[in-house]
Amino acid sequence: MTRDEIRTGLADILEEVAGVDKSDVADEKSFTEELDVDSLSMVEVVVAAEEKFGVKIPDDEVPNLKTVGDAVTYIEKNAA
């Protein structure tokens, strides 16, 4: 899966779960500060991403995923 495909998949999840405009989703954007994803919604995003990309994202990894780019990189490295 390419980084573009992962980013597009994340944008779909962010729109569905948190009402984020897909066109706002870019690597440098922070989930909490720039995309306004609150803590409970972040849990939903993580679980949905695990399902969609077939990847495990442990709870202690989530604080390291500050930006969309962090998440894309993590998924790229860890996807089955």
Residues near other proteins, by CB under 8 A: 17-19, 40-41, 43-44, 47, 50-51
4 classed as catalytic? no
By the 8 A CB rule, do 13 and 48 touch? yes
Output the smallest distance, CB 3 to other proteins, in A. Answer: 26
Instruction: Considering the complex, state which of residue 5 and residue 51 has its C-beta at the smaller distance from other proteins.
Output: 51
Output the smallest distance, CB 14 to other proteins, in A. Answer: 10
- Is the backbone of residue 43 left (phi > 0), alpha (psi -120 to 50) or beta? alpha
Note the Cα 1 to chain centre separation in Å: 15
- Out of 12, 21, 36, 38, pick the active-site residue: 38
Nearest to 78 by CA among 62, 51, 55: 55
Residues marked as catalytic: 38
